[in-house]
């Protein structure tokens, strides 16, 4: 499953020429294949049985130069981000910024109401004594940081979009899958299928439009 954003990125920055096992099917030399982009096939799904195999397959897929592809696993597989060449998630920065916003909001509310808007004498304590504001400042920091982090992670991961092609129900149970989109510049029906099978897939199947 490829997100719109990455699609745009890809069109701006063409895939670097990788290994040559999979070539762009320019000229239509593989039209003999039963399935092709014209038959409403959106891409190929390769299913694997265990995390080890798919980890190697993903590494090979990246080395082969695929750009519009994704890996589906029932649980996070260690080392998959590196294998896919995804790099580190930027979520911690979101947490930091949202947390600082929470801190600022809490300080603004507390100093604003108790020092500027209506200073009051509570038990002879100094107006604007900051130690009393620490607990709420902390809580607001955590609140904003936590909620924003979760929403950002879901949004960045594309989880907040419901409409997606249904690949295989077993992918959230016991199967591991690699999906290569038909729009991938390296995609070539016959060769991609052959290539995916060579990475240890137990099954490779086309994903049709409207699936």
Residue closer to other proteins, measured from CB, 40 or 133: 133
CA-closest candidate to residue 146, choices 196, 91, 109, 186 = 91
CA-CA distances (angstroms) from residue 27 to 1, 23, 24, 65, 185? 26, 11, 9, 20, 13
Write phi, then psi, for 203 (nearest 5 degrees): -155, 140
Residues that bind other proteins (CB under 8 A): 1, 3, 49-53, 58, 70-77, 80-81, 84, 86, 88-89, 91-92, 95, 99, 109-110, 113-114, 117-118, 120, 122-123, 125, 129, 132-133, 135-136, 138-140, 142-143, 145-147, 149-150, 152-154, 156-164, 167, 169-174
Give the shortest CB-67-to-other proteins separation in angstroms: 13
Say what the alpha-carbon torsion angle 188, 193, 194, 197 is, to the nearest 10 degrees: 150
The structure tokens listed for 140 are: 């607001």
Give the shortest CB-25-to-other proteins separation in angstroms: 26
Residue closer to other proteins, measured from CB, 125 or 208: 125
Residue closer to other proteins, measured from CB, 28 or 121: 121
Indicate the helix (H) or strand (E) that contains 177.
Answer: strand 176-181
Residue closer to other proteins, measured from CB, 149 or 183: 149
């Amino acid at each position: 499953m490829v997100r719109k954003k990455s699609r745009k990125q890809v069109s701006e920055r063409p895939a670097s020429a990788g290994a040559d096992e999979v070539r762009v099917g320019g000229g239509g030399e593989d039209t003999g294949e039963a399935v092709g982009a014209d038959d409403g096939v959106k891409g190929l799904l390769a299913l694997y049985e265990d995390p080890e195999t798919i980890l190697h397959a993903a590494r090979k897929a990246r080395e082969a130069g695929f750009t519009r592809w994704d890996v589906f696993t029932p649980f996070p597989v260690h080392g998959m981000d590196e294998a896919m060449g995804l790099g580190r998630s930027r979520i911690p920065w979101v947490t930091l910024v949202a947390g600082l916003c929470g801190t600022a909001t809490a300080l603004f509310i507390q100093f604003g109401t108790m020092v500027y808007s209506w200073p009051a004498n509570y038990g002879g304590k100094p107006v604007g004594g900051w130690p009393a504001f620490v607990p709420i400042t902390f809580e607001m920091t955590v609140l904003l940081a936590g909620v924003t982090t979760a929403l950002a992670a879901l949004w960045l991961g594309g989880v907040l979009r419901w409409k997606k092609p249904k690949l295989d129900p077993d992918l959230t149970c016991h199967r591991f899958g690699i999906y290569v989109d038909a729009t991938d510049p390296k995609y070539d029906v016959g060769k991609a299928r052959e290539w995916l099978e060579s990475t240890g897939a137990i099954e490779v199947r086309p994903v049709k439009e409207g699936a």
